[in-house]
Amino acid sequence: MKIAIPISEKSEMSQMARRFGRSIYYLIYDNESTEIEIVENPAVQARGGAGIQAVEFLVSKGVNVVITPEVGPNAYRSLRSSNTKIYEGLQIPAKDLIEKWKRNELREI
């Protein structure tokens, strides 16, 4: 299982970014291998549909869980149609959000 968190700095200690589709980076955590990958969001400068493009990118990377503070309606529908679970995140470091997810302490949206 792979988990994606929008972040604004290229660090696992970065706070979660407020905007899902316009996040500069995504931290992707592989729950099986425990590896962390930080990738640039190719949709950050999109004129429109950034959320949908971000979802397509993350799904292509094998992501099936997203932790985010909020998600727009189009991105929400795209995540749901791709069977990606969405959890409400907190403004804490991304690494801490992963630990909260592992302990089932985050609310599913």
Assess if residue 107 is contained within a domain: no
User: What is the residue range of 26's domain?
Assistant: 2-102
| 2: amino acid identity, one letter | K
Examine residue 25 and state whether it is found in any structural domain, yes or no. Answer: yes
Q: Residue 14: give its domain's CATH number.
A: 3.30.420.130
| Alpha carbon distance 103, 38 (integer Å) | 22
**6/18 Cα distance (integer angstroms):** 8
In a domain, 109, yes or no: no
Average confidence score pLDDT of the chain: 93
Query: Which residues of the chain fall short of a pLDDT of 70?
Result: none
Number of domains in the chain: 1
State residue 46's pLDDT score.
Answer: 78
User: Strand 36-40 relative to strand 2-7: parallel, antiparallel, unpaired?
Assistant: unpaired
Specify the 3-state DSSP secondary structure of 103.
coil
Q: Determine contact, residues 40/24, Cβ cutoff 8 Å.
A: yes
Using alpha carbons, select from 27, 9, 34, 24 the residue that is nearest to residue 67: 27
Q: Is residue 108 part of a domain?
A: no
Q: Is residue 70 part of a domain?
A: yes
Q: Is residue 90 part of a domain?
A: yes
Whether 18 maps to a domain, the answer reads yes
pLDDT for the residue 70: 87
Question: What pLDDT score was predicted for residue 43?
Answer: 82
Across 1-109, the runs of DSSP E, i.e. the strands, are 2-7, 25-30, 36-40, 63-68, 85-88
Q: What is the pLDDT of residues 59-70, one digit of tens each?
A: 999 999 999 998
Q: What is the residue whose two structure tokens read 């749901």?
A: 80
